[in-house]
Chains A and B, each alone.
Chain A
Amino acid sequence: MLLSVENLKVFFHSDGAVSRAVDGVSYEIRKGETVCLVGESGCGKTVSVLAILGLIPQPPGEISGGKIFFKGKNLLDLDEEEFQKIRGKEISMIFQEPMTSLNPVFTIGDQIEEAITTHDTVEGAEAHRRTIELLADVGIASPEERTKDYPHNLSGGQRQRVMIAMALACKPDLVIADEPTTALDVTIQDQILHLFRELKEKRHMALLYITHNLGVVAEIADRIYVMYAGIIAEVGSVEQIFRNPHHPYTMGLLASLPSRAKKGQSLYSIPGAVPDPAYKPQGCPFNPRCPHVQESCRRTFPEMCDFEDHHFARCPIIFQQRKGS
């Protein structure tokens, strides 16, 4: 097991209210595996991975519980200096917004070289050579000249490629990509996804990919974690989740895919809205929107139910139905 997040809780305090952004989340990633974290905006996906890198601003944030094991060490026990040795070296991250994630006043060559020299003691010329190699690897044309460019000289897709090159600079074991294609247009999205798959095969790294786009998930993931309102709703392989979803939320998500609608029919959407993380409903957080809701869902927090071979969902109601039939 490369990374295992156990019962992680991240709360945010503001004006007396406590936002339970991540409310007891567990997930695991094995070496070389691609895991997708799926859910709508505000469900706690990004916050949970920022916690892995120790990037939660505290205050107002607070890690209120749980453990994050990486190669057997609990990252939450590390001090700032030890964390710096892991960030960018063993775990690196690619952010959602390529337009603003690069520093506008330094050349991209400088920024990538900095990632290399921070962790490896290499000479300037060697770092420069590696930078050019990395840029070539992520599919940037004439990489040598590009090193002298500033971020504003590049397009969004190129900037995201630079971010990916920077993330790969020290050959990390785990790369976290937080919606890396959301800000890009569709053709570029496709190219970047392609690049991810290619790089993964070449470098045998594990990838934790966060997205709300189920199309992307189907293309890239080995396993999927579906998140809703700060908890994991369902876990399984791509096959299991897409063919045979068990949690009513996952079913709703899949039913609302445009490709599943019939011509002339309006698209399905899950009724209601995501609860405010500061005022979540009692019991199952999905209960106000759930078509299968029962009285017990409003009272008790649902257990994770083991449906079949590594396929779990947090819904005892469906579990009973499936077992009964």
Chain B
Amino acid sequence: MLAFIGRSAIQKIITLFFVSIISFLIVHLAPGEPSQIDPLNPKFTQEVLERFRKEFHLDKPLHIQYLYYYRDLLTGKSVSWKDNRPVLKKIYERFKNSLWLFILGTLITWTLSFPVGIHAAIRRGGLYDRSTTFLAYLLISIPGFFFAYMLIIFVVTHFHVPVIGMETFGISSTGWHWFMDRMWHLLLPSILGAAGGIAVLSRYVRNQMLEVESQDYVRTAKAKGLSPDKVHYKHALRNALLPFVTMFGLILPGLIGGSVIIESIFSWPGMGRMAYEAILARNYPVILAVNFISAILVLVGTFISDLLYMVVDPRIRL
């Protein structure tokens, strides 16, 4: 166990090192340079440009730039080129906003997908199964932005509550009223983020459950004289859940990714939009920092998955 943790940590650090090199190269190989973003801006004289390049080491060879950049990032001194604010602080502010969307969206997705998928599998071919199948495909095929506008129009005209942004602009009340205002603003983007997830995940749960239901050991459980509930929810479900444990670790990177489309539609000041804007502005420190943190989260996520797998599946010993 300890050996596994140690080995895995070393492997992951090596992986992270290569990720840092590759992402750095990709960002720098992309056409355009931060100093050339706005060539028509009269403030950007040749002289200013030179100063800019010197200040951010853009005049140095790539490998020196690489060392400078990761030294700054790891010591927390890296700053955004656009507003000169520390990158990690900027990310943290946006991260707090995205976190709520992420938590609520994930919660809705996982709590709804499992019951829906399991019941569809048990009542295979029945009315419930067919209608949830239809709904799932409907949700998958509707474009997110279209669905978002439909929802906004519906909620605004029927409930008369504002839903754009994180809170009503200029709201001054506190306590309950403030809380409800935040909840209303949170609800729509979360539902929207969850909708596609529910459609896909519930299908996946259904298929997984169906596959397990046809296994020999489920027949053995029936032949023992167990009630259908015990057969489905103890013997089948316990096995059907195994692959989702892996998925649970892999949703972690979603923490930093956010969703560009949903955040843009709802003017939500989250991570996704920040990263997108940073890419447009060739704001290398922000892009690379987001990238680096995502990579860490992916690696931590897979590590958690491995550990969870060991806990739930007796066949796996690492």
Q: How far is the CB of B243 from chain A (nearest CB, A)?
A: 13
| Chain A stretch 58-108: residues in CB contact (< 8 A) with chain B | 59, 80, 84-89, 92-93, 95, 97, 100-107
| Contact across chains for A97 and B216 when beta carbons are under 8 A apart | yes
For A55, A59, A115, which residue has the most chain B Cβ atoms within 10 angstroms?
A: A115
**Bound complex: CA A101 to CA B223 (Å):** 11
**Bound complex: CA A80 to CA B226 (Å):** 11
A217 interface hit (Cβ, 8 Å): no
Given A101-B216, A105-B313, also A84-B239 (CB < 8 A): no
Question: How does the 8 Å CB contact mask read for B209-221 relative to A, with 1 for contact and 0 for none?
Answer: 0000001110111
| Contact across chains for A84 and B223 when beta carbons are under 8 A apart | no
**Bound complex: CA A88 to CA B239 (Å):** 22
**Bound complex: CA A314 to CA B242 (Å):** 51
**Residue on B nearest A100 in the bound complex, by CB:** B216
Q: How far is the CB of B219 from chain A (nearest CB, A)?
A: 6
| Contact across chains for B223 and A105 when beta carbons are under 8 A apart | no
Residues of A within 8 A of B238 (CB): 103, 105-106
**Residue on A nearest B316 in the bound complex, by CB:** A152
Residues of B within 8 A of A97 (CB): 216
| Contact across chains for B217 and A101 when beta carbons are under 8 A apart | yes
Residues of B within 8 A of A114 (CB): 224, 226
B235 interface hit (Cβ, 8 Å): yes
| Contact across chains for A87 and B222 when beta carbons are under 8 A apart | yes
Given A152-B314, A152-B315, also A104-B225 (CB < 8 A): no
A53 interface hit (Cβ, 8 Å): yes
Q: How far is the CB of A87 from chain B (nearest CB, A)?
A: 4
A280 interface hit (Cβ, 8 Å): no
| Chain B stretch 171-227: residues in CB contact (< 8 A) with chain A | 215-217, 219-227
| Chain B residues with a Cβ under 8 A of chain A | 125, 215-217, 219-228, 235, 238-239, 242, 312-315
List 20 additional A-B contacts (Cβ < 8 Å) besides A84-B226, A88-B226, A102-B220. A55-B222, A55-B223, A84-B225, A84-B227, A86-B225, A87-B223, A87-B224, A103-B217, A103-B235, A104-B239, A104-B315, A105-B238, A105-B312, A105-B314, A106-B235, A106-B238, A118-B224, A152-B315, A166-B220, A166-B224
14 contacts between A and B (CB under 8 A): A53-B223, A86-B225, A87-B222, A88-B224, A95-B220, A101-B216, A101-B217, A102-B217, A103-B217, A103-B239, A105-B242, A105-B313, A105-B314, A107-B314
